[in-house]
Amino acid sequence: MKKDFETLRNALLSCQNCQKLFGFEPHPVVQGTSQSKIFQISQAPSKTVHVTHKPFNDLSGKRLIHEWYQISSAEFYNPDYFYITSMANCFPGKAPGGGDRKPPKICAQTWLEGQMDLVNNQIYIVIGRYAADYFFPKRRFDELVFTDQKIRGKKAFILPHPSPLNMKWFHDHLEFEQSRIKTIRAAVYQILGKN
């Protein structure tokens, strides 16, 4: 039997399954309602998001919200518009060689499909290679980014991660910011009634 949305959301927000793995108290971050129109899935919250409990409240978020989507913060954080979740809903800690650790697979296995079952969204936006691999294993990331996809029969767009650490990908794929993002932005605008 499916859990109802509020039960699942409350359980997710109180999850502490990875405390021993991380070595610090996890702070799950998720935002939205069962009627959010855009279901956005990224990799995992950053250290800044871990502290503020506000998704994409960092440099990656500034690029995503203001440069790529070209919407206001109020629109992005409006739960009627965006359901914001991740493959792992907690900051996983820093990796020894720099950057963040990979999200533990147990998080998506425990929480992601349940959220997708209970949110009545119109489109999916999947951010980053790690999240894309979950839905489209063994598919070339570049191909996924530059073509429209489907998840559960609904239109899905794949974005590179907007992190400043991803500069080489942007340099090697200039057409993403020159043209592809305009198609994705138009889809977002249509759902937000901005066309």
Report pLDDT digits (tens) over 142-179.
999 999 999 999 999 999 999 988 899 999 999 999 99
Question: Among residues 151, 154, 155, 140, which one has the least CA distance to residue 186?
Answer: 155
**pLDDT > 70 in the chain, percent:** 98
Pick 93 or 84 by higher pLDDT. Answer: 84
Output the pLDDT for position 97. 76
Q: For residue 102, is it left (φ>0), alpha (ψ between -120 and 50) or beta?
A: beta
User: CA 7 to CA 85: how far, in whole Å?
Assistant: 16
Please say whether the beta carbons of 157 and 126 come within 8 A.
yes
CA distances from 18 to 97, 146, 184 (A): 21, 35, 34
pLDDT tens per residue across span 53-66: 899 999 999 999 99
Residue 6 has pLDDT above 80, yes or no: yes
pLDDT above 60: residue 2: no
Residue-range domains of the chain with CATH: 5-192 (3.40.470.10)
Q: Bridge partners of 155? A: 150
| Stretch 124-140: mean pLDDT | 96
Lowest-pLDDT range of 7-16, 42-51, 145-154, 173-182: 42-51
The amino acid that residue 141 corresponds to is F
pLDDT value at position 1?
37
How distant, in Å, are the alpha carbons of 59, 98, 132, 135 from that of 174?
20, 25, 20, 25
- Whole-prediction pTM: 0.93
Average pLDDT over the chain reads 92
